[in-house]
Structure 1
Amino acid sequence: MKSHTIHFPEPTLVDVNGIELEVFEAGQQNTGNPIVLCHGWPEHAYSWRHQVPALVDAGYHVIIPNQRGYGNSSCPAEVTEYDIEHLTGDLVALLDHFGYENAVFVGHDWGAMVVWSLALLHPDRVSKVINLSLPYQARGDVPWIELMEQLLGNDYYFVHFNRQPGVADAVFDEYTHQFLRNLYRKNAPPQEPEPGMAMMNLAKAEYPRGEPIMSEDDLAVFVASFESTGFAGSIHWYRNLDRNWHLLADVDPIIQHSSLMIHGERDLIPPSDTLDQFVPNVDVVTLDCGHWIQQELPEETNATILAWLKQQDANNACP
């Protein structure tokens, strides 16, 4: 699966919140109608390449940061500099940089976690929420990593990242191309769970399973980025989950914004059965794909997002 990379905007480095973010921007002629796209792990702003032309054509000023720890954005050494206050603070400062009071925010995977949290911590800076793959995670009685350890064991990758810092990071750094090649797949045949830490097993697997979701040229963008930064900064996001649980203790957990949740039918992340309790103004759409929704089904993703945004605008225009 080989082809030339598609056109993607040139980045600029923007000073925000005490760091630099590498930001890709398109549709500057649509100033006043911002939409901010937030990638997940282990991704890159480039994961939104298929959405940019459609959103620009629909009249949006598209802003795509490589978030802290990724690409040419700053990678602070301190683990706590990747907590949810810092990650959402970066996005608030990005809006300030462009002179926007608020924007539509779109998140995938970890980016969705950040966007849900942004709507909780800075509700006035978010006009609408669109999230892919990761539904709203309710804050229960037990910190998240502690709960996962109880339910899923020490080898579950969230737990492993926290309990054995540096171990997985080194494996991913050693097998960067192989890991990302093996990860970005679809239609993999089912297999029995193997012992050990699944993500590290994946990185060391000599042969990929299923079909690639992107060309070798596109994959090379992700590989080059992580070969430059290493994986530690991006994994530090996971190492703040229990800290985030404490930081969100006194925050109203209900998101009132108009929201769209897009699931992949074949994603291992299950839909939430409490989503509408915490996000009462949510619409849910399920597409026939796996986890990498906007890259697996770009046209369907674009159509879903644009139809929903158009409907929201029509609703708001009603007297």
Structure 2
Amino acid sequence: MTTNFPEPTRVPVNGVELEVFEAGREHAGNPVVLCHGWPEHAFSWRHQVPALAAAGYHVIVPNQRGYGNSSRPAEVTGYDIAHLSGDLVALLDHYGYDNATFIGHDWGAAVVWGLALLHPGRVSRVINLSLPYLERGERPWIESMAETLGGDFYFVHFNRQPGVAEAVFEENTSRFLRNLYRTEVPPATREPQPGNALIDLARMENPPGEPVMSDSELAVFVAAFASTGFTSSINWYRNLDRNWHLLAGVDPIVRQPTLMIYGDRDPVARSGRLTDFVPHATVVSLDCGHWIQQEKPAETNRAILTWLARQHAA
């Protein structure tokens, strides 16, 4: 790692091993678990780990299954919400915690939402970045996306054409990640275009916007995906409809106190009905794109720590 990011340990959980980075162990009893998105890594929380530890939290940051040096099961169904949330429950068991505050970004936020629904007693507070609560609806998510957004939309493409996108990403790993982790992207370039936008991005010579991170920081992500490839992480997408079925009959209301952090220039759509499903949600917006905690680390830390302090004082 290129900073004083913690050294990892490997923790056996739920039939796999997770690579876990930990800080603030002296604050045992006050746990916060940070859950990264795609195509990310625990290192995406490098700006939040020291701030949370300094504020008195025991910070636990796994590379979730399929990422980094964590296990990569071969079966696609090994990446459904039951397995992903089960890993986090087992991680709490490993550290001896009944519950914790969970913070998620992007796909990590999706897992935290699912964890709060499937194991509500293990989640004391929710803080999610970028990805709002996703209503279950009457039809499976990929089926619905295919009809409304078309077969080239990357969620649908990952499911309907397995192996195609990851082959392109693996052939262009450094370029793909360099092109993806951008900020200050002009609004026009965020509009949907024909074809698979991520495949096009992986081949693009001159991407719009500015780099989110330094070359040395980006190298951590590039090295991780050069080692693992992309199939295991994309398998998370291939379980969306399975997750839809797994959540049938589950109480859809997230009852924990929740902080939702949006980026004003994030192409991910906001929820128009967040408080219908997350009645105790507080919403904060920051002037940034999708990579919120990396684009605006100080502002993200301030929002998280201020909200947590109010929760403790309540």
Whichever residue aligns with residue 57 of structure 1, its letter is A
2:118 equivalent to 1:105: no
TM-aligned CA deviation for residue 194 of structure 1: 3.8
2:131 equivalent to 1:134: yes
Question: What does the per-residue CA deviation read over 1:53-89, in whole Å, with 9 as the maximum and x for residues that have no partner?
Answer: 1101110000000000000000011000000000000
TM-aligned CA deviation for residue 269 of structure 1: 0.9
Give the TM-score normalised by the residue count of structure 1: 0.97
TM-aligned CA deviation for residue 209 of structure 1: 1.5
Corresponding residue of 2:12? 15
- Whole-Å separation in 2 of the counterparts to 1:69 and 1:284: 30
Matches within 5 A, 1:118-157: 118-157=115-154
How many residue pairs get aligned? The number is 312
Instruction: Report SS of the residue matched to 1:242.
Output: helix
Question: What does the per-residue CA deviation read over 1:201-251, in whole Å, with 9 as the maximum and x for residues that have no partner?
Answer: 000111222100100000000000000000000000000000000000010
2:186 equivalent to 1:171: no
Corresponding residue of 1:34? 31
TM-aligned CA deviation for residue 148 of structure 1: 0.4
- Whole-Å separation in 1 of the counterparts to 2:80 and 2:290: 24
- Whole-Å separation in 1 of the counterparts to 2:4 and 2:297: 15
Corresponding residue of 2:184? 187
- Whole-Å separation in 2 of the counterparts to 1:235 and 1:165: 9
Whichever residue aligns with residue 40 of structure 2, its letter is E
Instruction: Report SS of the residue matched to 1:114.
Output: helix
Q: Stretches of 4+ moved more than 6 A in 1?
A: none
- Whole-Å separation in 1 of the counterparts to 2:81 and 2:88: 11
Instruction: Report SS of the residue matched to 1:196.
Output: coil
Specify every segment of 5 or more residues in structure 2 that has no aligned partner in the other structure, as ranges. Answer: none
Whichever residue aligns with residue 24 of structure 2, its letter is G
- Whole-Å separation in 2 of the counterparts to 1:209 and 1:12: 37
Corresponding residue of 1:281? 280
- Whole-Å separation in 2 of the counterparts to 1:143 and 1:234: 20
- Whole-Å separation in 1 of the counterparts to 2:192 and 2:125: 38
2:89 equivalent to 1:92: yes
Instruction: Report SS of the residue matched to 2:89.
Output: helix
Instruction: Report SS of the residue matched to 1:291.
Output: coil
Give the TM-score normalised by the residue count of structure 2: 0.98
Specify every segment of 5 or more residues in structure 1 that has no aligned partner in the other structure, as ranges. Answer: none
Whichever residue aligns with residue 264 of structure 1, its letter is G
- Whole-Å separation in 2 of the counterparts to 1:248 and 1:139: 8
Question: What does the per-residue CA deviation read over 1:119-177, in whole Å, with 9 as the maximum and x for residues that have no partner?
Answer: 00000000000000000001000100000001100000000000000100111111000
Question: What does the per-residue CA deviation read over 1:78-132, in whole Å, with 9 as the maximum and x for residues that have no partner?
Answer: 0000000000000000000000000000000000000000000000000000000
Instruction: Report SS of the residue matched to 1:65.
Output: strand
Matches within 5 A, 1:1-319: 5-189=2-186, 190-191=188-189, 193-315=192-314
- Whole-Å separation in 1 of the counterparts to 2:194 and 2:141: 23
- Whole-Å separation in 1 of the counterparts to 2:155 and 2:284: 27
TM-aligned CA deviation for residue 193 of structure 1: 4.5
Instruction: Report SS of the residue matched to 1:75.
Output: coil
- 1:167–1:21: structure 2 CA closer, same or farther, 3 Å change rule? same
- Whole-Å separation in 2 of the counterparts to 1:129 and 1:233: 26
TM-aligned CA deviation for residue 7 of structure 1: 1.3
- Whole-Å separation in 2 of the counterparts to 1:271 and 1:307: 22
Q: Percent identity?
A: 70
- Whole-Å separation in 2 of the counterparts to 1:196 and 1:259: 36
Question: What does the per-residue CA deviation read over 1:171-207, in whole Å, with 9 as the maximum and x for residues that have no partner?
Answer: 1111000000000001122236542100000001112
- Whole-Å separation in 2 of the counterparts to 1:207 and 1:20: 38
TM-aligned CA deviation for residue 5 of structure 1: 2.7
Indicate the RMSD between aligned Cα atoms, in angstroms: 0.9
